[in-house]
């Protein structure tokens, strides 16, 4: 098992423990219009648990390091994580701090992205900070469904001048409902760490969730794929 695989397994276990991946008896309707009993959060339940947040940061950091351009081993550009708001914001911070513990001498940081463009002050931008030639950028978010919200966020990054075609876009959990494929069809580099079906199967196998939930979830996925 690689370090990344071990980190991702830890995140999956934490996700079930803290309710980051949860079950609702009534199907939840997402922004995409897709409905499911299974939801993914990654907000207060994650930021309120230091162990889960650190494990998540380690997984994201290691994935980012593994996809760092090889030339940066000599160029040593600063690595910057941009969190897609709002769930991606603490993930970007956690990853930058965790990365420091993996590669102690790496220049690393994070930036905040807004849900609304700033209309006051000096910088009327989506992201706090302009892109620089001596930095490498990654976007980070908690989950992807059909990909539409990610496309909107990437368009905003592009509007701010960020090199979205050269960036790696990191997704913590892929719901396996077409979003990743949609982004890759646009020529974007997408890194996914976990797949939701595998997390659901793990929760059932460990006895955290009853078998009936897995059967209902599989029926949902089957209906979506038809």
- Domains in the chain, CATH or no CATH each: 3-225 (3.40.50.2020)
**What is the pTM assigned to this prediction?**
0.93
What does the block give as tokens for 118?
Answer: 């700033």
Q: Mean pLDDT throughout 38-55? A: 94
Burial 90-110 (b: 16+ CB within 10 A, else e): bbbbbbbbbbbebeeebebbb
Confidence of residue 103 (pLDDT cuts 50, 70, 90): low
CA distance 102 to 152: 32
Stretch 63-81: mean pLDDT: 83
204, 210 in Cβ contact below 8 A?
A: yes
Residue 10 has pLDDT above 70, yes or no: yes
Per the listing, tokens 């409905």 go with: 35
The pLDDT of residue 201 is above 80: yes
């Amino acid at each position: 098992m690689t370090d990344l695989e071990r980190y991702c397994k830890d995140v999956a276990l934490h996700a079930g423990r803290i309710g980051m991946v949860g079950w609702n008896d009534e199907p939840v309707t997402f922004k995409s219009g897709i409905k499911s009993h299974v939801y993914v959060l990654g907000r207060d339940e994650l930021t309120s648990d230091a162990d889960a947040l650190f494990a998540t940061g380690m997984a994201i950091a290691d994935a980012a390091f593994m996809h760092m351009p090889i030339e940066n081993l000599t160029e040593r550009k600063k690595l910057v994580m941009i969190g897609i708001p709002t769930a991606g914001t603490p993930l970007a911070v956690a990853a930058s701090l965790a990365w420091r513990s993996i590669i102690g001498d790496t220049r690393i940081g994070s930036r905040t992205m807004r849900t609304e463009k700033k209309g006051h002050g000096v910088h009327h931008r989506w992201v706090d900070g302009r892109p620089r030639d001596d930095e490498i950028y990654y976007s980070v978010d908690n989950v992807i469904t059909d990909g539409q919200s990610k496309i909107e966020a990437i368009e905003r990054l592009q509007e701010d001048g960020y090199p979205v075609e050269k960036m790696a876009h990191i997704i913590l959990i892929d719901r396996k409902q077409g979003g990743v494929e949609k982004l890759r069809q646009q020529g974007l580099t997408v890194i996914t760490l976990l797949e939701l079906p595998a997390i659901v199967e793990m929760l059932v196998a460990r006895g955290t969730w009853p078998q009936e939930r897995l059967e209902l979830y599989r029926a949902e996925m089957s209906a979506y794929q038809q």
